[in-house]
Structure 1
């Protein structure tokens, strides 16, 4: 199962990389992208804090911060955005572009910052 999981993840990220250089899907809307990132942060922390309130073994603040900051990794979100029907959703390319930006933001920036935070907290 682990081999299948790693293989699937590799294929997904190769597909994301190939999609990133396709110039036809890049429809840029800075406000939409920034609001999307903001809402992802806000609702991620709200969801995590709601779930953590029902834990029998409570997590300390640093563990909660790392869990809430973990973010979205993007395979499912990208798949859903790519499957949108252009005849029904006129802004499909904006959705795909925004999803790619969010995936790259969470995979590259958030993971790097999270690794740094976790490394500093464990010293």
Structure 2
């Protein structure tokens, strides 16, 4: 195991938050061409999962966000707008892969 310097909880949380913001930037800005269905098929999660997790984390902190509100916060725009700008129709192969992959992964599709 590497020799990782100890950090206090506040520093750890800032590091984790920065890593999350970088992941969000990568998925929304750097690679909007990566389709959610492909992310689900490969990794078992997608941008919609991240927005759902965001909403769940908000709820744990006493902040009530609807599914659509959490998506808008995560995507930086209404989800319908994101879909119109970046999401393509899934191919039959992608849908078949999704059906297979989903059966093997924990979680629920959005």
Q: Same fold (TM over 0.5)?
A: no
TM-score normalised by the chain length of structure 1: 0.30
Larger Rg: 1
TM-score by length of 2: 0.33
Structure that is richer in helix per residue = 1
